[in-house]
């Protein structure tokens, strides 16, 4: 059975688009998440890293979407 694999670059692009479409800013969302170093956010957006499950849940609430709507799979 083939299981989906998360595409980090696609997910980062999707997070960027969802933030923009929600009317928020990257810095604003980072502040809502309590992220002091914005390089963390930019790592997510580039696909260098993925948010922790806690941050993914918080993002889904902030952006008013499901976690599945945030993740891009291959």
pLDDT tens digits, 21-67: 999 999 999 999 999 999 999 999 999 999 999 999 999 999 999 99
Domain ranges of the chain: 8-65
Give the pLDDT of residue 24. Answer: 97
CATH architecture of 8-65: Orthogonal Bundle (1.10)
Beta bridge partners of 6: 73
Residues 6 or more apart whose Cβ sits within 8 Å of residue 73: 4, 5, 6, 7
The C-alpha angle 21, 29, 24, rounded to 5 degrees, equals 30
Q: What is d(CA 73, CA 19) in angstroms, rounded to the nearest whole number?
A: 19
Give the pLDDT of residue 1. Answer: 84
Residues 6 or more apart whose Cβ sits within 8 Å of residue 70: 11, 14, 15, 18, 56, 59, 60, 63
């Amino acid at each position: 059975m083939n299981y989906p694999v998360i595409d980090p670059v696609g997910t980062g692009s999707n997070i960027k688009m969802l933030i923009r479409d929600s009317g928020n800013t990257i810095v604003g969302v980072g502040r809502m998440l309590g992220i002091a170093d914005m390089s963390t956010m930019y790592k997510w957006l580039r696909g260098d890293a993925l948010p922790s499950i806690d941050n993914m849940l918080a993002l889904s609430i902030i952006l008013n979407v499901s976690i599945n709507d945030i993740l891009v799979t291959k």
